[in-house]
Chain A
């Protein structure tokens, strides 16, 4: 996420995915938000050494990605790229936690490695769920869903404004940053002095833009809220969606699905 332009392209691509028209895209956003929240809470509520019980949870992002016809490779790459903080902190676990928990033949696996693997799987699950939600729903719809679930209106306005002008400002910032890069030789010229005046100018232009926008909005009869384009309905499909996934997550939280399957398979082996 180093360059502004790269981040912007990424953002646009994820945003465009939300324009799809499949059964999961058409679900009311509230249903998807609720199911994702239940999913994340169930995933993170496992103990720190849990690994195999986490694997069946991949069914949720995988099903949604497949049913929503999202590009799986792109989303997987995004999942792999993010959350360096979790990995960086998690990698310390094997160093500090050396209790041997699992014996696999002659191979001893310490609690540290187990919990590190658990952190990696958790990261993949929660990040994949969040990205899938965004790609299936779109940020505007998520905001509307959150308002109907109780988020204050003023904050929703802020989110919608930000989302509307994010692209414009990020492009402006990206252009300014590229211009500075082209004019500076290596590290010379990219110091604090030019950085501060770059940010300052960007800030001034931002401010002027806000003033122009405000006048334009007033001229068009702005009353303090955005009109909503469409009102979704929380119908039987939505209820079924939320109930099905929540029930599945709770069952998978209570029973270790992977291990039950494994005992079934190994139970028949001599």
Chain B
């Protein structure tokens, strides 16, 4: 459930980056205050452990599919919330840089969905509250399963919301929710079962390891709640700015409903500025791109003057395709020239 750059708008990506960067700063500050220098190498190797564990699968009986650990909750139980959050964030960063899982802009979203939600939200507010000081077996099972489910459901919900707010995918919100939430119900069950099994194993083998997470250094609930409130305001602010600036997402659907009568009036802010600039600088206005004029106007002209839209659409499409081919040729040519000159520069030395 890694988000991808391609589905994100810059506003949503930047807002989530800000939220995650805030979380990283908060977590780092808390760790510095704890001054436990055993923690640094421990977090490092546990990150490596998480990386390896995410790639080892087990088969789920009766289904033919397989599952694996995601690990946010397990690490929070072992290390406490802030250390667990930083560890998960670092693993996500390695995956973004080396395997391009997600991507650099989507890193903020992924750190939030997979790190912040289980470690900084679900663990202190749900798991720690419910588990008590000396839980019985049945209570531990119930609380762990519930927490893992909750973390997965919230993570999936955030993926859906971030995708919908970006407006790149055309998948309707309700259909996407119906697709994601049941899948992550299953994934959450698997996660809960694995977390429970590993914790039980550790309790038998080395029970003293399980005391660290419940150390008094854990983040108090009020701080977490306050920081999430700040995050919510940040995101809401970012999203509403997006809604007023960018004509592609919300206004596009509005324009579809209203027949795109007053789209041009809505074009304010950065989007409007860019559009105006594009209009001013278009050298061949009759060939102007359909994509640049955005579907609102395209559908408007389709309803009022289909003839004109066909002509304009044809012209710009041909120009676009020819231009694309020429650009690809130019780029390839540039690459060859660069390689050649590079080789020529190296050859005399060798």
Contacts and interface: CB of A to CB of B under 8 A. Distances in A.
A206 to B, nearest CB: 4
Interface in A59-105: 59, 62-63, 65-67, 69, 72, 78-79, 82-83, 85-86, 89-90, 92-93, 96-97, 99-105
Contacts of B57: 2, 190
A116 B234 CA distance: 30
Contacts of A29: none
A164 B5 CA distance: 27
B40 to A, nearest CB: 6
A120 B7 CA distance: 10
Interface residues of A, number: 134
Contacts of B6: 44, 83, 86, 90, 119-120, 122-123, 126
B3 to A, nearest CB: 7
B103 interface: yes
B233 to A, nearest CB: 22
Nearest to A212: B41
B57 to A, nearest CB: 8
A262 B283 contact: no
Contacts of A247: none
A52 B53 CA distance: 41
A4 interface: yes
Interface in A226-270: 254-263, 265-267
A65 B7 CA distance: 25
Nearest to B335: A66
Interface string A189-208: 01111111111101110110
Contacts of B28: 152-155
B214 interface: no
Interface size class of B (residues with CB under 8 A): 35 or more
Contacts of A115: 168-170
Given A103-B317, A131-B100, A96 B339 contact: no
A26 B168 CA distance: 37
B345 to A, nearest CB: 9
Contact of B289 (A52, A55, A109): A52
A56 B295 CA distance: 22
Contacts of B1: 85
A263 B323 contact: yes
B194 A192 contact: yes
Contacts of B90: 155, 158-159, 162
Contacts of B294: 47, 49
Interface string B27-57: 1110110000110111111111101110111
10 contacts: A4-B52, A49-B290, A52-B321, A55-B323, A90-B6, A111-B170, A126-B103, A127-B5, A152-B28, A200-B198
Nearest first, the 7 closest Cβ-Cβ pairs linking A and B are A161-B44, A262-B323, A173-B52, A196-B197, A169-B48, A200-B201, A195-B58
